[in-house]
């Protein structure tokens, strides 16, 4: 008889697998910009990438610890109103360059966000980070269901709402993880190929637009 080997499931609360913290409170008045903060408008709704022009200044009284600065291992969840998730996996280079050129000392999330960082994963292990963030992408629709209802009948997601969520997942199953890694490798490769063709198409359309001449019907 053929036996189907099911993925090994790891069980616990979400806080057992992710560090969860609230973003910082950002002043509305402009400051020196020692640090930059991301608020809801700081992430493009379509691309889900950080918009540098919409980052706001954050000038705390004390130095922000390096463990509190955003990194590519972090995943942001908007905790007020509509719940959305944003992986910072592909923002690592952007964050590094922003600090390298002296624009600021680092980036933090505003208190509109909850920051989830996978436990026991280094910033260089891209496959595991991607898997941990992909898992959160799947869970985000469920987060809205567990959000607390506050005054005015508005939804508000708290650290405890997320942290106490019980979950089982096949994170530790090496065969299951290897299958995911293989799929993502092929997906990223195809995505890169598509991006190259998209650039070619954009260049072609720019050239085409330069050759088109519209004359108004009224110009006779």
In this prediction, residues 3-15 reach a mean pLDDT of: 69
Look up residue 39 and give its DSSP letter. -
Residue 167: CA count within 13 A, CB half-sphere: 22
Residue 29 pLDDT: 65
Quickly count: other Cβ atoms within 10 Å of residue 91's Cβ.
22
In sequence order, what are the beta bridge partners of 43? 50
Structure tokens that stand for 143 in this block = 């987060």
Kindly state the DSSP code that residue 91 receives in the 8-state scheme. Answer: G
pLDDT at 22 exceeding the cut of 90: yes
Q: What is the pLDDT of residues 124-140, one digit of tens each?
A: 688 889 989 999 999 99
Residue whose token pair is 């700081």? 42
Query: In percent, how much of the chain has pLDDT > 70?
Result: 87
Q: HSE, CB side, 13 Å, CA atoms: give it for residue 137.
A: 11
Instruction: Tell how strand 18-22 and strand 113-118 pair up.
Output: antiparallel
**Residue 153 — very low, low, confident or very high, per pLDDT cuts 50/70/90?**
low
Considering only CA atoms, give the Rg of the chain. Answer: 22
Q: Where are the domains of the chain?
A: 10-171, 173-210
**Residues 52-61, mean pLDDT to the nearest whole number:** 87
**Higher per-residue confidence, 195 vs 214:** 195
User: Phi and psi for 110 in degrees, rounded to 5?
Assistant: -75, 170
Give the whole-angstrom CA distance, residue 19 versus residue 41.
24
Asked if residue 6 has pLDDT above 60, the reply is no
Q: For residues 93 and 32, which has the higher predicted lDDT (pLDDT)?
A: 93
- Paired tokens of 137: 């992408």
One of 3.40.50.1100, 3.40.50.720, 3.90.220.20, 3.20.20.10 is the CATH number of 10-171, namely 3.90.220.20
Measured from the Cβ of residue 4, the count of other Cβ atoms closer than 10 Å reads: 4
Q: Which of 8-12, 19-23, 124-128, 149-153 has the lowest mean pLDDT?
A: 149-153
Of 164, 145, 163, give the one whose Cα is nearest residue 155. 145
pLDDT at 1: 40
Higher model confidence: residue 219 or residue 19? 19
> How does residue 4 score in pLDDT terms, banded at 50, 70 and 90?
very low
Taken in order 200, 202, 205, 206, the sign of the CA dihedral is negative
């Amino acid at each position: 008889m053929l036996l189907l080997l099911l993925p090994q499931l790891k069980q616990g609360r979400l806080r057992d697998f992710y560090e969860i913290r609230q973003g910082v409170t950002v002043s509305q008045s402009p400051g020196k910009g020692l640090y930059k903060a991301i608020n809801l408008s700081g992430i493009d709704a379509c691309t889900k990438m950080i918009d540098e022009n919409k980052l706001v200044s954050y000038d705390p009284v004390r130095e922000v610890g390096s463990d509190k600065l955003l990194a590519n291992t972090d995943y942001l969840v908007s905790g007020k109103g509509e719940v959305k998730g944003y992986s910072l996996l592909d923002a690592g280079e952007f964050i590094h360059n922003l600090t390298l050129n002296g624009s600021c000392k680092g980036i933090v999330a505003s208190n509109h966000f909850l920051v989830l960082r996978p436990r026991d994963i280094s910033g260089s292990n891209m496959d595991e980070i991607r898997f941990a963030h992909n898992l959160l992408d799947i869970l985000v629709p469920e987060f809205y269901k567990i959000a607390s209802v506050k005054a005015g009948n508005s939804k508000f997601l708290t650290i405890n709402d997320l942290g106490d969520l019980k979950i089982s997942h096949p994170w530790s199953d090496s065969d299951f993880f290897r299958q995911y890694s293989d799929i993502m490798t092929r997906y990223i490769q195809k995505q890169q190929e598509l991006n190259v063709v998209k650039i070619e198409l954009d260049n072609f359309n720019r050239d085409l637009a330069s050759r088109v001449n519209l004359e108004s019907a009224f110009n006779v």
